């Protein structure tokens, strides 16, 4: 049996990705199981989904504590979530990033293979939206061989249908070919120290994944790390209407003086509501360098 854990942010289609992966495996004649881990999610918040694939009926129903493969849809999660937690020795981390793998600052106690794919860039080019879930599924198929390209594309077409389904199927193929053609070489991450032998407690390990632990802790979380795009205030055609500040759901925008605004990027999630609200199109959403 193969176990997969998918890390992403709310709005990136993590649960949908898990479902489509299980459908693709079923199409290939395998047994499959997919389910999410829900908390107080919102757009941009860290979320989890799990998948199990096997050649025999799958009886276990717990969360995936020791995955064979970890899929990370947003590289900024590395700063706030231990994405490598529980990854089996010799396992694989598949991450959406255009950056060099060595620059990500990943550390582990076991040897794992890291594969980087610029899924957001591919999604923007092929689909026209920065939603990397189907692109990452294509990369998963290419990197692991656990599901076939044809089954993965069929699952995507079935899920979305029409032109949307076709564009997502094309993104699946682009990512699949990117991995198979060695577009970003695999990197073997060596353990920083010998792995300590865990003592058996007779129960499942504690699953800590980086959510706020109690009410009132939200201010301690740098939610600006959730962004894929950041708003840039051009302040050329601005009329000083203040609609951007009024509609900002996080109250990140403040008026410094007439027709001049400041944004608290520490908490700005890049939702784009300010740009949509601006009547003179004076706010531009620009892709983050690290996204």
CA atoms within 13 A on the CB side of 69: 27
Q: How far is the C-alpha of 105 from the C-alpha of 142, rounded, in Å? A: 25
pLDDT of residue 228: 80
pLDDT tens profile 192-221: 655 444 444 444 434 444 444 444 445 556
- The residue that leads in pLDDT, 12 or 156, is 156
Report the range of poorest mean pLDDT among 68-77, 179-188, 200-209: 200-209
- 76 neighbors 222 (Cβ within 8 angstroms): no
pLDDT tens profile 36-55: 886 655 677 788 999 999 99
Highest mean pLDDT among 36-50, 105-119, 156-170: 156-170
Residue 243 Cα distances to 27, 186, 255, 285, angstroms: 49, 47, 11, 16
CATH, domain range 2-189:
3.40.920.10
Q: How far is the C-alpha of 5 from the C-alpha of 3, rounded, in Å? A: 7
Q: How far is the C-alpha of 269 from the C-alpha of 227, rounded, in Å? A: 5
Helix intervals (H) in the chain = 14-27, 119-126, 133-144, 149-160, 162-180, 243-247, 273-277
Report the range of poorest mean pLDDT among 24-28, 37-41, 215-219, 280-284: 215-219
CATH, domain range 222-287:
3.30.70.20
Helix, strand, coil share of the chain (percent; to 5): 30, 20, 50
Domain ranges of the chain: 2-189, 222-287
pLDDT of residue 132: 92
Q: Structure pTM?
A: 0.72
% residues pLDDT > 90 (the chain): 46
pLDDT of residue 153: 97
Output the CA torsion sign for 32, 38, 44, 46.
Answer: negative
Query: Residue 237, Cα to own-chain centre: how many angstroms?
Result: 35
**Which residue in 284, 289, 282, 203 sits closest to 242, CA to CA?**
282
């Amino acid at each position: 049996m193969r176990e997969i854990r998918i890390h992403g942010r709310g709005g990136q289609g993590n649960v949908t990705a898990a479902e489509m992966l299980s459908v693709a495996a079923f199409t290939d004649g395998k047994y499959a199981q997919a389910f999410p881990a829900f908390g107080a999610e919102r757009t941009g918040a860290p979320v989890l989904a799990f998948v199990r694939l096997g050649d025999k009926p799958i009886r276990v129903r717990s969360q995936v504590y020791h995955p064979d493969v970890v899929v990370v849809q947003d590289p900024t999660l590395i700063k706030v979530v231990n994405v490598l937690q529980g990854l089996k020795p010799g396992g694989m981390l598949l991450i959406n990033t255009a950056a060099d793998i060595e620059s990500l600052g990943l550390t582990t106690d076991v040897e794992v293979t890291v594969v980087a794919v610029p899924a957001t860039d591919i999604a923007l080019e092929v689909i026209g939206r920065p939603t990397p879930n189907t692109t990452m599924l294509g990369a998963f198929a290419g990197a692991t061989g656990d599901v076939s390209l044809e089954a993965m594309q069929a699952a995507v077409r079935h899920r979305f249908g029409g032109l949307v389904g076709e564009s997502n199927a094309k993104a699946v193929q682009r990512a699949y070919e990117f991995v198979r053609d060695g577009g970003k070489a695999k990197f073997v991450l060596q353990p920083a120290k010998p792995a300590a032998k865990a003592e058996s407690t007779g129960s499942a390990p504690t699953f800590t994944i980086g959510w706020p632990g109690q009410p009132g802790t939200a201010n301690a979380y740098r939610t600006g790390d959730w962004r894929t795009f950041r708003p840039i205030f051009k302040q050329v055609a601005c009329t000083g209407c203040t609609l951007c500040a009024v509609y900002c759901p996080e109250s990140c925008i403040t008026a410094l003086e007439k027709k001049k605004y400041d944004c608290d990027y520490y908490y700005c999630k890049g939702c784009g509501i300010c740009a949509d609200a601006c009547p003179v199109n004076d706010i531009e959403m620009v892709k983050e360098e690290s996204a």
